[in-house]
Amino acid sequence: SYELTQPLSVSVALGQTARITCGGNNIGSKNVHWYQQKPGQAPVLVIYRDSNRPSGIPERFSGSNSGNTATLTISRAQAGDESDYYCQVWDSSTVVFGGGTKLTVL
């Protein structure tokens, strides 16, 4: 089965740029979606199809996908960005989530 690998945690200084990776075999050939989840809340879609932002998501959120790694980039990190982030793809008609990354804003 297909696996997605995310770092358990990422830290970023306030106002700096955070990058959260999602690794998978030839993930560049798949559409990658990213979700933000705050404690006690349902996940929220922040990036779809590698690099597209839903309405209402700040331009500070961006995504890229190539080779074996997809990346969620959060520019000018704010305290409110502190959350868990999950990547997601489809593989053989099934849905796969990454293990999740906890973003800490220092």
Partner 1 sequence: QVQLQESGPGLVKPSETLSLTCTVSGGSVTSGSYYWSWIRQPPGKGLEWIGYIYNTGSTNYNPSLKSRVTISLDTSKNHFSLQLNSVTAADTAVYYCARNRGGPGDFDSWGQGTLVTVSS
- Shortest distance, position 29 Cβ to partner 1, whole Å: 10
- Segment interacting with partner 1 (CB under 8 A) among 14-22, 62-70, 75-83, 93-101: 93-101
HSE toward the beta carbon, residue 105, CA cutoff 13 A = 16
C-alpha–C-alpha distance, residues 25 and 17, integer Å: 26
Interface with partner 1 includes 55 (CB under 8 A)? no
Binding site for partner 1 (CB under 8 A): 1, 30-31, 33, 35, 41-45, 48-49, 54, 86, 88-90, 93-100
